[in-house]
Structure 1
């Protein structure tokens, strides 16, 4: 992702102002309000006077003074203290935080190309002339908390939906029950693969084909992604796609859903909102989800990587995470999720299609 795209999509908002303007106070008030809305919030602060976060003589400080970077893990919190041998830039710091947070509040950094609120200090008439992207100027006597909260509530959803959406059509299955490659089955003169690619192409910025398998020559212009090695099942293709474009969100689509519709894909994309890291539909409302026609935010990738680290290869396990939306699609769209795995199911599908108006 180039710099322009990064700064145009990163969910980071600055609270800026000169010393004594009340930056920390406002952020301290904002955080519990945002967390109560289900958001994971981080705060990035720069201190020109240096950082003092430990106590001399404590074991952790002694280890740090000896030259080690120190990680402390408690029951419900974790603390990392590292030496500033190569200080991180603002962009590097944000890139490290964004995969785990819905919003990063940045204190200070008035020259950064971030949307920001400028807080006026006592006797100050306005922000500096070189201030960039100042969306609001709040005086000392302004109702700062409600005004800042209202601005963030309108700004963050729009920023969230700027993230590019890619589509991955998965063809890596062995099709053992069908006895032949499902993605090459035909309906109305087109393969299921072609139907799926055409449908997904209408709602995303780029489409790729994930997994092994024969692809007709007239579809050879699509990017092919190899499955990651030593991982069984569709998770191998899903994680390969997310590693290939980690800053994009992904529509993951199996190739065996011949009734896939553009309207169903649009419904999935309409579920994007801050705090939702994936929409994995529960089709019947019974707790069983369909992860192979679903939308995944970039923040879902670390969750998938955690599954891999535990040698858990079922993508449906992601639904147990608190940031996952398992909404049931509208009834008129449910057919898009109906997959066909065997000759008997294929015959049923063909019979239904023939009888439909």
Structure 2
């Protein structure tokens, strides 16, 4: 399974890019999964639901399943947050795992960079970055620069970088 991160400062458009890029890659015959890091407390469960009650009662993991999907919720219960590598072990292998966030982890990454945000490049001096995606010129980088709005060009770069070509069906 190939792994590629999409990272950038808050407000750079990581999620917007992700939801535009996934269908482009899937239309090219690739199986794609995603993993996202959240910097804040979040919950995929709802108070009052059986699964929520199980977690509130102290269960470390709760798996909910139906004919359409399943979800596994894991409570850290005071344990440290796992790394992206540890979390990847729970993913079913696909052609490409796109990771949103985890900007300090060692997997290859594309930086989504908008100079208008007034933030520095994350990719400077970090060899895990393989390209910069921007809506403006970025003279400070030596990495390949791809127009943030050219989804086909970004998908081309990803396929070329990882030699990802769909299997014959």
Same fold, judged at TM 0.5 (above): yes
1:92 counterpart = 2:103? no
Structure 2's unaligned 5+ residue stretches are 137-146
Superposition RMSD in Å: 2.3
Task: Tell me, in whole angstroms, the C-alpha distance in 2 between the residues paired with 1:104 and 1:81.
Answer: 20
- Deviation at residue 78 of structure 1 after TM alignment: 1.1
1:29 maps to what in 2?
20
1:52 maps to what in 2?
43
Report SS of the residue matched to 1:71.
Answer: strand
- Deviation at residue 26 of structure 1 after TM alignment: 0.4
Which of 132, 141, 146 is 1:137 aligned to? 132
The number of equivalent residue pairs is: 153
1:111 maps to what in 2?
104
Task: Tell me, in whole angstroms, the C-alpha distance in 2 between the residues paired with 1:50 and 1:131.
Answer: 28
Which of 56, 76, 81 is 2:68 aligned to? 76
2:55 maps to what in 1?
64
Structure 1 111/19 Cα, relative in aligned 2: closer, same or farther at 3 Å?
same
CA-to-partner distance for each residue in 1:134-164, whole Å, 9 max, x for gaps?
A: 222122353242232111111222xxxxxxx
Structure 1 274/67 Cα, relative in aligned 2: closer, same or farther at 3 Å?
farther
2:6 maps to what in 1?
15
Report SS of the residue matched to 1:75.
Answer: coil
Task: Tell me, in whole angstroms, the C-alpha distance in 1 between the residues paired with 2:51 and 2:166.
Answer: 34
Larger relative contact order (C-alpha < 8 A, sep ≥ 6)?
2
2:33 maps to what in 1?
42
Q: How does 1:1-357 map to 2 (within 5 A)?
A: 11-68=2-59, 69-85=61-77, 86=79, 87-97=81-91, 99-121=92-114, 122-124=116-118, 127-128=121-122, 129-140=124-135, 142=147, 143-157=149-163, 274-276=165-167
CA-to-partner distance for each residue in 1:284-331, whole Å, 9 max, x for gaps?
A: xxxxxxxxxxxxxxxxxxxxxxxxxxxxxxxxxxxxxxxxx68xxxxx
Question: Given that residues 23 and 119 in structure 1 are in contact (C-alpha distance below 8 angstroms), is that contact kept between their aligned partners in structure 2?
Answer: yes
Report SS of the residue matched to 1:63.
Answer: helix
After the TM superposition, list the runs of 4 or more consecutive aligned residues in structure 1 that deviate by more than 3 angstroms: 123-126, 273-276
- Deviation at residue 23 of structure 1 after TM alignment: 0.4
Report SS of the residue matched to 2:6.
Answer: strand
Structure 1's unaligned 5+ residue stretches are 1-9, 158-272, 277-324, 327-357
1:296 maps to what in 2?
none
- Deviation at residue 46 of structure 1 after TM alignment: 1.1
Between Structure 1 and Structure 2, the one with more helix by share is: 1
Between Structure 1 and Structure 2, the one with more strand by share is: 2
Larger Rg: 1
